[in-house]
Structure 1
Amino acid sequence: MKTKILAFATAVLIFGACTTKNKEDQGQADQNISALNLDASKFKSKIDGKTNALYLMKNANGMEVAVTNYGGRIVSVLVPDRDGKMQDVVLGFDNIADYTNNNNNFGAIIGRYGNRIAHAKFVLNTAAFTLRQNNGQNCLHGGPRGFDTQMFDISQADPQTLVCTYLSKHNEEGFPGNLNVTVTYTLSDDNALAIKYEATTDRPTVVNLTNHSYFNLSGDANNTILDHTLVVDADTYTPTNEQLIPTGKIEKLAGTPLNFKNPTVIGQRIDDSSFIAIKYGMGYDHNFVLNKAGDMNNAAAKLVCPSTGISMEVFTNEPAIQVYTGNFLDGTMKGKNGVTYQKRTAICLETQHFPDSPNQPQFPSTELRPEGKYLSLCTYKFGVE
């Protein structure tokens, strides 16, 4: 009990870091212990002229979430397993240098456009825009200097709420318009982490924001997620070409290795390369069209780990979810607790609009105009079975 009290006090001091310099100095000097076994002093850094720090949220059940300014990234999510033991269920690093020195999206806010835009080009209202390429000839996750590499300001830091803001300037990575972005993380006492994305623009643009957390509900990234059970409430998906750009069609999942309508062990069909979509994605890396788009009361997906009993439901108002099984993790990055992240040691469940929508008029529009407001909602709710 004494350890927990000390840990919570530490978390409160970290929150003070966003208000005044004296509190920042006090908080950072006291960071030898934290509730998440993270040393906040290892996150204190100047990046692009701004101060980076580590912020902790904690609910009444002991669930804890750590977030840092750089990319607005979720660094750690601590939840209880079926035996009451706390498990960190996301991949990441225990210091800011590893985030900035490695090409990764661990836990990051993704923008301006999550997923791919073909040929890094699109036309909006007869105006042509050229983006920066970073995935062959395509633009992936907003380009090489997407939101995952940007410093977010913290406008509010409370024990269960963190508000991150960022101004994406006109022509950043080639996207039009000054885009004011607010991302609010809220940790509720029912062990749900809600993410609210809001944005406004001063000229027409395209927006598709998401979070790129890598989940492993075993709490040990030495394990793969191949034994996890997945459900996705989708009957269709958007097939792609070899570069993972949608063909423009929407096809049925029934009878394919991509069908997760009923609980299915991820590893059961992940290597069925006779199905071309599996071959192109080197596993699962696909956009699932949700059956109940916009319905926040219906779980879009559910993930369960058999060894810990930890479950995670995903709720969203978005029309789709990208299921990515860490196929490109290659053992070159060493994360928290000294674990080397290997292929398929995590899964991403990214709520989103469709990839390449700016070039696919038949897909739901991602256009944002000055008179409008972008709003995207995603909740990750944890439990045990």
Structure 2
Amino acid sequence: MKANQISTGKIIDGKEVFALELKNSKGSYVTIYNYGGIINNFVVTNAAGDKQDIVLGFDDFDSYLSEDYLENYPYLGVIVGRYSNRIKDGQFSISGKSYQLTKSLHGGESGFDKKVWDILPTVDPSLTLQYISPANEENFPGTLTVQVTFKLSEEDELTLDYKATTDAATPVNLTHHSYFNLETHGGNVANHHHRMPASNYLAQDEEYIVTGQVLPVEGTIHDFRAGKAIGKDWDPAEGYDQSYVLDTPYGELALASETTAASSGLKLEIYTTEPVAHFYTAKYLNVEKAKGGKDYHPFEAFCVETQHAPNSVNIPGFPDTVLMPGQTYTQTTIFKVSK
């Protein structure tokens, strides 16, 4: 069955915005907007037999466009690109030529999260979105064609397969920015149990810019290798906003994180082919009148953003993020829910 398409009635930049729903026979479903690739719902059955939505978002599409939301914009559930996280001073060089981007987060002032993606025909029970980013958009070189395919399995695995090609050398570092909360009634995520197979993390400066220094997690608050409550070692005023180097060889699909919540009995495992997972516990989250009329506050969600290292375009020796003509960027990330 193809994704069910429901029009939102909105036309943005001449393109219609749809809500697209993927379902499985267990009654689990995912709702995705072709605006920003937003995962608006990810509904599964918890240990008590109740339906539970594990991602943050809104009850209606219009709220994603509201001034109040955009003023303190947290990138709820979006595709991030061309370049996730931060590039130092918004600058990089390719083959001796320097480029200056808007100094901002997650791809610029109007990144992939604010674009209406085309819906491509598919033969499987899946959804493929495509966006063609023109040369010099947000000052990035090259025309970049990006496709992201979403597929929901019978085992409640939501797979995201990314593919991108370019006609000129350009940095590419894509991720998805879903905010998760596995507790039955939401709230602070400090009691979620979290595990990450990462023996090292990446040093950051005062602006959260990755410096290139790789540090061991052993003996620090960043050691999640054996698993622990998210709030066990954190500074409750800061939480986590940190990139971790996964122990698995780059390119091999393997576990990036495993998170559970006692109240729901749910477990979320995230698998990826990417070398880094950025773990963020939503320090800056501040959203009013979200799903069910609830307000979202700091530390009431967590994100695991699978990607290459932030700022790696400026760090020799880190896995390369420059895509060349004739090459194809690929990435797979899987969100698997069980109980």
Q: Distance in 1 between matches of 2:102 and 2:254?
A: 37
Q: Distance in 2 between matches of 1:176 and 1:338?
A: 42
The aligned counterpart of 1:144 is 109
In the TM superposition, what whole-angstrom CA distance separates every residue of 1:108-158 from its partner, at most 9, and x where no partner exists?
000000110010110011111110122xxxxx1001101111111111367
Which has a greater percent of strand? 2
In the TM superposition, what whole-angstrom CA distance separates every residue of 1:224-245 from its partner, at most 9, and x where no partner exists?
1111000001000101011001
Higher relative CO (CA 8 A, sep ≥ 6), structure 1 or 2? 2
Q: Which of 326, 330, 335 pairs up with 2:282?
A: 326
Q: Which of 77, 85, 92 pairs up with 2:50?
A: 85
Q: Distance in 2 between matches of 1:233 and 1:44?
A: 44
Q: Distance in 1 between matches of 2:47 and 2:309?
A: 36
Question: Per the alignment, do residues 91 and 252 of structure 1 end up closer, same or farther by CA in structure 2, a change over 3 Å counting?
Answer: same
Could you tell me whether the CA contact under 8 Å between 1:87 and 1:218 is conserved in 2? no
The 5-angstrom pairing of residues 29-108 of structure 1 reads: 43-101=8-66, 102-103=69-70, 104=73, 105-108=75-78
Q: How far is the alpha carbon of 1:333 from its aligned partner?
A: 2.7
Instruction: Give the AA of the match of 1:62.
Output: G
Q: How far is the alpha carbon of 1:98 from its aligned partner?
A: 1.2
The 5-angstrom pairing of residues 308-323 of structure 1 reads: 308-323=264-279
Could you tell me whether the CA contact under 8 Å between 2:251 and 2:275 is conserved in 1? no
Q: Which of 130, 133, 139 pairs up with 1:165?
A: 130
Q: Which moved more, 1:240-249 or 1:151-160?
A: 151-160
TM-score computed with the length of structure 1 as normaliser: 0.84
- Count how many residue pairs are aligned between Structure 1 and Structure 2: 334
Instruction: Give the AA of the match of 1:269.
Output: D
Q: Distance in 2 between matches of 1:369 and 1:156?
A: 27
- What RMSD, in angstroms, separates the aligned Cα atoms of the two structures? 1.7
Q: Distance in 1 between matches of 2:201 and 2:14?
A: 42
Q: How far is the alpha carbon of 1:219 from its aligned partner?
A: 4.3
1:346 corresponds to 2:301: yes
Q: Distance in 2 between matches of 1:99 and 1:166?
A: 19
The structure that has the greater radius of gyration is 1
The 5-angstrom pairing of residues 71-220 of structure 1 reads: 71-101=36-66, 102-103=69-70, 104=73, 105-134=75-104, 140-156=105-121, 160-220=125-185
Secondary structure of 2:189's counterpart equals coil
The aligned counterpart of 1:270 is 234
Could you tell me whether the CA contact under 8 Å between 1:293 and 1:320 is conserved in 2? no
The 5-angstrom pairing of residues 11-30 of structure 1 reads: 15=4, 17=5
The aligned counterpart of 1:286 is 242
Instruction: Give the AA of the match of 1:201.
Output: T
Could you tell me whether the CA contact under 8 Å between 1:63 and 1:79 is conserved in 2? yes
Could you tell me whether the CA contact under 8 Å between 1:156 and 1:164 is conserved in 2? no
Could you tell me whether the CA contact under 8 Å between 1:57 and 1:159 is conserved in 2? no
Q: Which of 355, 374, 379 pairs up with 2:329?
A: 374
What's the % identity of the aligned pairs? 37
Could you tell me whether the CA contact under 8 Å between 2:253 and 2:332 is conserved in 1? no
TM-score computed with the length of structure 2 as normaliser: 0.95
Q: Distance in 1 between matches of 2:276 and 2:129?
A: 24
Q: Which moved more, 1:43-52 or 1:302-311?
A: 43-52
